[in-house]
């Protein structure tokens, strides 16, 4: 049984189903993303972004506009241009799952920068639609896990309602390749929150995604995993880092391979595919067949309460 824990429904469902079939993936977890580009104009967010952009200090000349806010807005516009079928609202995720109940599972999303009432409403919607988890990204959603009260509410909701929290860690494309701008996605900031709340939380990308510094917060991710056994990890967008001998050995010794989960991040990793990502794990000579089965599907089935078959 192969479960892909990290799929973005940016294409038509027949294309996603076809991709899954080619890779031998039985179930795909479709992720919602609730973002508001206008959040960058909130005074406290703008101030934080500008300060971090300045402290970055080194020349990221690929950015197009002088102000960081304009670069961020431009990034969201490009995403919509590039994937015209971008379907990421909770309702759309719910509809995709309803039409393909044996193939898809859904995680909703909620923007933590909004009012408490907005967050409550979205969480209720996630429950009503029968979605299995919540996807959050401190990068694209521009929130700090420490300073944003709503993040605690979402952790509390996930813990009480047995929803899985898939939480982006590491850098992200576009302006978020600047590590200073992605700082909130350093897993170390989760520590004080996880002292109080114990949702099942998956650190997407193992704290490691970065085009410039692969493995950027791998150490911090390992530390959080050692401290809290409700912390899991997905290998999406970082399989070339995670399945390297030295790193895999550390994961095995310090966390255990029963908390490592396959994900492809389809279709956003340039030059990759679900099949490629599955084959990386199937072909890895450093792990046993049982360990491969766990990483490819059984670990995810366990936290999603799916019967293995």
Residues facing residue 135 across a β-bridge: 109, 166
Number of residues this chain uses to bind Zn ion (CB under 5 A): 1
Which of these ranges, 20-28, 171-179, 183-191, 264-272, lies near Zn ion under the rule CB under 5 A?
264-272
- CB of 265 vs Zn ion, minimal distance in Å: 4
Helix (H, G, I), strand (E, B) or coil at 106: strand
Nearer to Zn ion, 26 or 265 (CB): 265
Which of these ranges, 10-18, 42-50, 93-101, 265-273, lies near Zn ion under the rule CB under 5 A?
265-273
Q: How many CB atoms lie within 10 A of CB 46?
A: 17
Nearest by Cα to 232 from 194, 259, 250, 210 = 259
- CB of 167 vs Zn ion, minimal distance in Å: 11
Nearer to Zn ion, 100 or 236 (CB): 236
- CB of 291 vs Zn ion, minimal distance in Å: 24
Within 8 A by CB and 6+ apart from 273, the residues are 19, 22, 23, 264, 266
For Zn ion, the binding residues in 22-51 under the rule CB under 5 A are: none
Question: Residue 293 and residue 145: Cα distance in Å, rounded?
Answer: 33
Does 265 bind Zn ion (CB under 5 A)? Our answer is: yes
User: Tokens at residue 297, please?
Assistant: 């599907």
- CB of 50 vs Zn ion, minimal distance in Å: 26
Site string for Zn ion, 210-249 (x = CB under 5 A): ----------------------------------------
Strands (E), the chain: 3-7, 27-31, 104-109, 133-136, 164-170, 200-209, 231-234, 260-261
- CB of 120 vs Zn ion, minimal distance in Å: 25
Question: Residue 63 and residue 72: Cα distance in Å, rounded?
Answer: 10
Which of these ranges, 37-45, 125-133, 261-269, 296-304, lies near Zn ion under the rule CB under 5 A?
261-269
Nearer to Zn ion, 13 or 265 (CB): 265
Which of these ranges, 22-30, 48-56, 114-122, 259-267, lies near Zn ion under the rule CB under 5 A?
259-267
Nearer to Zn ion, 82 or 196 (CB): 82
Q: Closest CB to Zn ion belongs to which residue? A: 265
- CB of 233 vs Zn ion, minimal distance in Å: 14
- CB of 203 vs Zn ion, minimal distance in Å: 12
Does 291 bind Zn ion (CB under 5 A)? Our answer is: no
- CB of 202 vs Zn ion, minimal distance in Å: 11
Residue carrying structure tokens 């279709």: 267
Question: Residue 155 and residue 198: Cα distance in Å, rounded?
Answer: 7
Edge to edge, the sheet with strand 260-261 lists: 3-7, 27-31, 104-109, 133-136, 164-170, 200-209, 231-234, 260-261
Angle at 277 between CA 131 and CA 20, to 5 degrees: 50
Which of these ranges, 63-71, 186-194, 257-265, 292-300, lies near Zn ion under the rule CB under 5 A?
257-265
Does 69 bind Zn ion (CB under 5 A)? Our answer is: no
Question: Residue 150 and residue 146: Cα distance in Å, rounded?
Answer: 10
Question: Which DSSP letter does residue 15 get?
Answer: H
Question: Which residues would be at the binding site for Zn ion (CB under 5 A)?
Answer: 265
């Amino acid at each position: 049984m192969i479960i892909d824990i990290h799929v973005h429904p940016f294409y038509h469902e027949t294309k996603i189903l076809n991709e899954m079939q080619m890779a031998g993936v039985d179930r795909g977890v479709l992720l919602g993303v609730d973002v508001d580009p206008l959040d960058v104009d909130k005074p406290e967010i703008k101030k934080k972004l500008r300060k971090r952009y300045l402290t970055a200090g080194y020349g990221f000349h690929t950015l197009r506009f002088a102000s960081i806010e304009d670069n961020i807005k431009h990034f969201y516009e490009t995403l919509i241009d590039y994937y015209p079928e971008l379907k990421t609202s909770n309702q759309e995720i719910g509809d995709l799952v309803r039409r393909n109940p044996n193939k898809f599972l859904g995680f909703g999303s909620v923007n933590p920068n909004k009012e408490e009432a907005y967050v409550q409403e979205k969480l209720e919607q996630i429950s009503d639609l029968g979605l299995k988890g919540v996807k959050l990204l401190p990068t694209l959603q521009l929130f700090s896990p420490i300073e944003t009260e709503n993040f605690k509410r979402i952790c509390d909701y996930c813990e009480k309602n047995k929803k899985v929290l898939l939480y982006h860690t590491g850098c992200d494309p576009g302006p978020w390749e600047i590590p200073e701008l992605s700082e909130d996605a350093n897993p170390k900031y989760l520590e004080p929150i996880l002292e109080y709340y114990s949702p099942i939380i998956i650190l997407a990308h193992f704290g490691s995604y970065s085009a410039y510094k692969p493995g950027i917060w791998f150490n911090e991710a390992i530390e959080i995993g050692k401290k809290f056994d409700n912390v899991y990890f997905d290998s999406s967008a970082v399989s070339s880092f995670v399945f390297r001998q030295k790193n895999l050995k550390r994961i095995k010794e310090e966390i255990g391979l029963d908390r490592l989960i396959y994900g492809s991040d389809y279709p956003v990793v340039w030059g990759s595919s679900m099949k490629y990502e599955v084959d990386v794990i199937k072909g890895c000579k450093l792990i046993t067949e049982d360990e491969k089965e766990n990483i490819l599907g059984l670990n995810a089935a366990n936290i999603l309460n799916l019967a293995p078959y």
